[in-house]
Homo-oligomer: A and B are copies of this chain.
Amino acid sequence: MLTNTLPRYEILDEFALQELERGWRRIVSELGIEFLYDEALDYLRGAGQDVDGQLVKFDPDWILEQVAKAPSQFTLQARNPERSVQVGGDTMVFSAVYGCPFVREGLERRDATYDDFQNLVKLAQSFPQLDSPGGTICEPNDRPLDSRHLDMVYALLTLSDKPFMGSVTSGPNAQDTIAMAEMVFGADSLDETPAIISLINVNSPLRYDDRMLAALVEYAKRGQATIVTPFLLMGAMSPVSVPATLAQQLAEGLAGIALVQTIRPGCPVVFGSFLSNTDMQSGSPSFGTPESAVGLLCTGQIARHYNLPFRGGGALTSSQVVDAQAGYESMMSLWPTFLAGTNFVMHSAGWLESALVSCYEKFVTDVECLRMMYEVFKPLEINEETLAYSAHQEVGQGGHFLGAVHTLERFRECFYRPLVSSTENYERWNRNGGNDTAARATEIWRKTLEEYEQPELDEGLREELKAFVDRRRTELGD
């Protein structure tokens, strides 16, 4: 977890914020939002909103009253208390890629399996730059669809001791996640402090579907955190305009957060952003774009305006392989991620090919980028010691500092030390195989997996979790 005390980079003026406010207010009040789940409709009807079939038209002031009940920051428990994190304020929490059906390992691209899932959780556990493995780090396609959420939660709780993300594929799956978390954290502790954070996507534009809503309701009832995220690829799910998309993101996001607060006032919830654009030539989604960078900078400012923790960013790219495009697009999204002070960052490592692929090598290059960004966002201390005048006195004119006392005392720790980047001169690099970054990354993730150590877990608890998984799998008919 990074505490980012550097300034936020804000590009909206007061007038712009007012225009966006006007924008979301008329969307929720005049057009309304569909909620395809009766229990959610009951809550909103009960709170006095205008419900017609599945369409809800909101009083924007009521929305803001509800939103004001959400905490501006909260603790998310990890099963290892040292790895618990704060979500909101100046902190930034990083989790791995989420939701990819395929994996890439070197030159091979294939369906993701449960083995891959476990490997990627182990990598997320191993690198300290990641605060959480996230949830669906890849789809374990070799496990039955109805019960694979159990396998995923089991792996997340046993192979890692960092905070994790819960299943959102249905209400009962959310209940399973909560039941397993209760075994690990205890029901009381879970009620007091959330130990699950889950991604609730909006079926944009202006619609929440039944499965996501059912999961949202379950988690909210138990005080577990959700990340309510309008899913906005401009041109497809929103207009071809950043301001219009920001207004829509506010309309959808604030309405969902208001629902959470109606279910359980004070429940931790995160204002989510997943905002990029469609390539209008091909119709393909496009990631690591300038528009998404601008959208992210604005989103941070907007979330702070409404006093909400927010999610956004990551190391996004549309590239098919770990090449230059993968590098520059990932940085095109990571820089605004940090400049905006993003509180919860999904997709921080491993994302490739517009999130179709969880990539082992990309995991490593993304960790390198995170490590560099952590270094940039460390406050610079300027004082007599760092001014190092003694070194200037020692070296004087025309010499070099390699052997200066000041250098010798600090040379091991004075600069960022790369993980996979190379500064080798050409001859040496060539002699060592002339491997590009992706090839060097292969060596690093393999070694990291070899050196992985499973975090301690009580054997009785493990058996209890295992028994639950087995029982539920049988009940689900798999």
Contacts and interface: CB of A to CB of B under 8 A. Distances in A.
Interface of A: 6-7, 9-12, 15-16, 19-20, 22-23, 26-27, 31-34, 55, 109, 203, 205-207, 234-244, 247-248, 277-286, 289-291, 293-294, 298, 318-332, 335, 339, 353-354, 356, 365, 368-369, 372-373, 375-376, 379-384, 386-389, 391-393, 395-402, 404, 406-407, 410-412, 414-418, 420-426, 429-430, 434, 436-438, 441
Contact of A323 (B323, B354, B375): B323
A291 B375 contact: yes
Contacts of A329: 327, 421
Contacts of A397: 31-34, 55, 205-207
Given A239-B406, A241-B410, A318-B422, 10 more contacts: A7-B10, A109-B426, A283-B402, A284-B423, A289-B415, A298-B380, A318-B423, A320-B422, A321-B436, A325-B437
A20 to B, nearest CB: 7
Contacts of A236: 400-402
A381 B420 CA distance: 40
B19 A11 contact: no
A294 B424 contact: no
A422 to B, nearest CB: 7
A406 B293 CA distance: 23
Contacts of A242: 380, 386
Nearest to A398: B207
Given A205-B398, A241-B388, A319 B383 contact: no
A33 B286 CA distance: 52
A367 to B, nearest CB: 11
Contact of A206 (B384, B396, B425): B396
A358 to B, nearest CB: 14
Contacts of A207: 397-398
B353 A426 contact: yes
A335 to B, nearest CB: 4
Given A353-B426, A397-B205, A244 B392 contact: yes
Contacts of A354: 423
B241 A386 contact: yes
A364 to B, nearest CB: 10
Contacts of A436: 321, 323-325
Given A323-B324, A331-B328, A414-B280, A9 B387 contact: no
A240 to B, nearest CB: 4
A406 B248 CA distance: 15
A339 to B, nearest CB: 7
A331 B320 contact: no
Contacts of A332: 331, 372, 376
17 contacts: A16-B380, A19-B384, A31-B393, A205-B396, A206-B397, A239-B392, A239-B404, A244-B386, A291-B415, A291-B416, A294-B380, A318-B423, A320-B434, A324-B365, A324-B438, A328-B331, A356-B426
A243 B382 contact: yes
B324 A322 contact: yes
A293 B109 CA distance: 35
A318 B418 CA distance: 12
A31 B125 CA distance: 51
B325 A19 contact: no
Contact of A12 (B241, B290, B327, B382): B382
B285 A392 contact: no
Nearest to A426: B320
A422 B325 contact: yes
B406 A290 contact: no
A298 B381 CA distance: 12
A407 B324 contact: no
Given A331-B328, A396-B206, A290 B373 contact: yes
Contacts of A395: 205
Most chain-B CB neighbours within 10 Å: which of A323, A384, A407, A434?
A323
The list of the 4 closest CB pairs from A to B, nearest first, reads A327-B327, A331-B331, A290-B375, A244-B388
